[in-house]
Structure 1
Amino acid sequence: MEDDYDLRGLNCPLPVLKTQKRMRTMAKGDRIWVRTSDPLAVIDIPNFCQERGHALIETQSAEDGHRFLIERGA
């Protein structure tokens, strides 16, 4: 499963908190694209993935922020 989660317009710490909540409902190995406009997300999302055991598969720059492809780990 690969989902798209639009969190543009939200500022730190909301993108990480909402991503964490959404990922709790996902199965191990499921993937989600997270879209953010918060400039701090390029630091916060990778740190969140590392701390929680998720894989950050891809990071993309976009006109309105960034996209992160995350695979749920343990």
Structure 2
Amino acid sequence: MILKIDARGQRCPWPAIRLARALREAHPQIEIMADDPAAERELTAVATAAGATITRQSSQFSQIFHVAGPGVVNISFTSNG
């Protein structure tokens, strides 16, 4: 099952934090929508650190990132709250 995260309207680092949390919870397939221009760079960094693959699909109003693969996220990418 694909976990869908709507991070539109959230500025980085929040989309990256939400992705890191989902990866830490071992969701194998994640789709995250984001509209912050910095999202691609930050989401790619989190996915790469977790050993996951990430692909981007653009739409008129936001970008959709598909993240797949198991991985362990460096705990420093996520908050404890």
What TM-score, normalized by structure 2, do the two folds share?
0.76
What residue is the counterpart of 2:47 in the other structure? Answer: 49
Distance 2:34 2:62 in 1: 6
| SS in structure 2 at match of 1:45 | helix
RMSD of equivalent CA atoms: 1.4
Gaps of 5+ in 1: none
The question of 1:71 aligning with 2:68 is answered yes
Higher strand share: 1
Aligned length: 71
What residue is the counterpart of 1:32 in the other structure? Answer: 30
What residue is the counterpart of 1:9 in the other structure? Answer: 9
Contact 1:55 1:73 in 2 (8 A): no
Distance 2:21 2:48 in 1: 16
Distance 1:55 1:64 in 2: 23
Return the offset for 1:52: 1.8
Contact 1:35 1:68 in 2 (8 A): yes
Task: Determine which of 57, 60, 68 is the counterpart of 1:60.
Answer: 57
